[in-house]
A and B are shown apart, each in its own frame.
Chain A
């Protein structure tokens, strides 16, 4: 076949497919059954034409036309049905997320270990050398004895002055942002995530040591425990997501680094997205329960209960084969 003959015989086919693509551009649903069938038959032929046009060395314009046409038809045909968002979220939380969590538990342990080292280090340091607290504890929390004038009662009073609903949503937004950052910074090979985890651990450790130095440990503990346990746990899980992303780059294993990154990113982003409900629960508690006058023991009990519930969900849910999996 000569190039000229090729052009002559194939042009009507291209025109036809072009018409179909134009019609289906705003949704393949607009095509009739016969047209859809024609689309599936014409696309492979035109894809081959694109290769043949290149082989014949046809002019640039014609090559571009066929190529563009094939890509447009390819885009129409190779798509996935979008699941209903609500159903997909439900399935994800009930089945896929707990399973993912159990598969990636080692990363959570790693993040926890990192965090524990930082928190303990800071705690011991500040206990032994109270003066170092200034480096890590915000100025506003200076104790009466150390030159400042704020007692824990003042802090909880400050909490109470804030209207509760905005407080809750601010805390949720802020914590989820921290989680997203911990995930995203994983792209640095995990270094950025380690930095975020470690810094937060140092501040937490120093914070408790600071209160313990002034024999106010229990006041402080019981004050934050209601929301704090689940919150820290969720931060650890998002840290694990960042580590998953980072280690896929740093230690790609048997895959090419780029491919390892793509696989790692998919698991990691799911791991961090699943922390959102935990942050919502923790934020609601921090906004509404923490500032209330509920006794400390009750707050601690609530915090532990909520955390155990989350842990139960992550460890037990989705054990049977999920209904959607083949």
Chain B
């Protein structure tokens, strides 16, 4: 379920943001953890190389350089452990690589961009949120009970993690079908289904958006659209047989789709061996 958060802008307008869910945040954390693991593994390899070199190279210079390099590597490990998220979120305005992959972002509760202090607070508190160990049980529990799905670090820093809403306004429609009803009805589809152009377009239009309507409205529309078609073709499906009506509409659309694909040259996938033409 989508959860929204309201922010009030300095213009006194309320804007809605979609909060990132626990699931996508967990996945983002997993990706970031993997990256940290890889970085650490790479460092460990360098470390082994240094040790190997100091053992087999008895010149004093290599030995001295080796200990300094060894010292530097310890510091790099340390910086990765505490600084990975701080750096990543600072440089990308709240989007560590994992968050980027999950299309989520850290923002201020009041809508503004995050500052260094916010980033430092939320990520130093990670060690408590991660408890026990790195299981993030504390974070999960706190996020479950807070209004804006915040972990302890978010609460202290005053940040929220939001889903970057991609301006894909047809997100809830069946995009494949939507693309079709925006085109002209093809003669093949009309012939296969026996529908009038208008009927066909209305049906497709409905089908693409059927999940957007309230359930009752959706059923009523389905009945209204199918009634004339049923009457003409002489098929009898009871008005309250929603399953039957849906199956019938689905079958019509399938038929049209198969007919359109069978056209051949229009679809690069359907060569001479294309087996799905009727």
Contact = CB atoms under 8 A, between A and B. Distances in A.
Interface of A: 18, 44, 47-48, 50-51, 60-62, 64-65, 67-71, 74-75, 78-80, 82, 88, 163-166, 168-170, 172-173, 176-177, 180-181, 183-185, 187-188, 192, 245, 258, 261-262, 264-266, 269-270, 272-273
Nearest to B16: A67
Given A47-B11, A177-B82, A265-B121, 12 more contacts: A47-B13, A47-B15, A48-B11, A48-B13, A60-B212, A70-B9, A78-B9, A80-B112, A166-B70, A173-B74, A265-B157, A270-B117
Interface in B70-128: 70-72, 74-75, 77-78, 81-82, 107, 111-113, 115-117, 120-121, 124-128
B222 interface: no
A68 B167 contact: yes
B57 interface: no
B67 A79 contact: no
Q: Which of A68, A78, A261 has the most CB of B within 10 A?
A: A68
**Could you say which of A48, A78, A80, A273 has the most chain B C-beta atoms within 10 Å of its C-beta?**
A78
Contacts of B107: 75
A176 B77 CA distance: 13
B103 to A, nearest CB: 13
Interface string B233-265: 000000000000000000000000000000000
Nearest to B109: A262
B169 A51 contact: no
29 contacts: A47-B11, A50-B13, A60-B172, A60-B212, A61-B170, A65-B169, A67-B15, A70-B9, A70-B13, A70-B15, A71-B15, A74-B9, A75-B107, A78-B10, A78-B112, A80-B112, A88-B116, A163-B70, A165-B67, A165-B68, A166-B71, A166-B74, A173-B74, A177-B81, A180-B82, A245-B156, A266-B121, A269-B117, A269-B120
Contacts, number: 121
A170 B113 contact: no
Contacts of B16: 67
Contacts of A165: 67-68, 70-71
Contacts of A185: 128
Nearest to A65: B169
A79 B127 CA distance: 29
B11 to A, nearest CB: 5
Contacts of A60: 172, 212
B127 A168 contact: no
B201 interface: no
Interface of B: 7, 9-11, 13-17, 67-68, 70-72, 74-75, 77-78, 81-82, 107, 111-113, 115-117, 120-121, 124-128, 152, 155-158, 165, 167, 169-170, 172, 212
A163 B111 contact: no
Nearest to B150: A258
Contact of A172 (B75, B121, B152, B212): B75
A75 B78 contact: no
A173 B75 contact: yes
A173 B117 contact: no
A88 B90 CA distance: 15
B10 A261 contact: no
B169 A64 contact: yes
B70 A51 contact: no
Contacts of B169: 61-62, 64-65
Contacts of A62: 169
Nearest to B126: A184
Nearest to A183: B124
Contacts of B170: 61
A71 B112 contact: no
A188 B124 CA distance: 14
Given A61-B169, A79-B113, A273 B120 contact: yes
B145 to A, nearest CB: 13
Given A47-B13, A187-B128, A266-B121, A261 B156 contact: yes
A277 B169 CA distance: 51
A88 B115 CA distance: 13
Contact of B72 (A79, A169, A262, A269): A169
Contacts of A65: 167, 169
Contacts of A187: 125, 128, 152, 156
Contacts of A188: 128
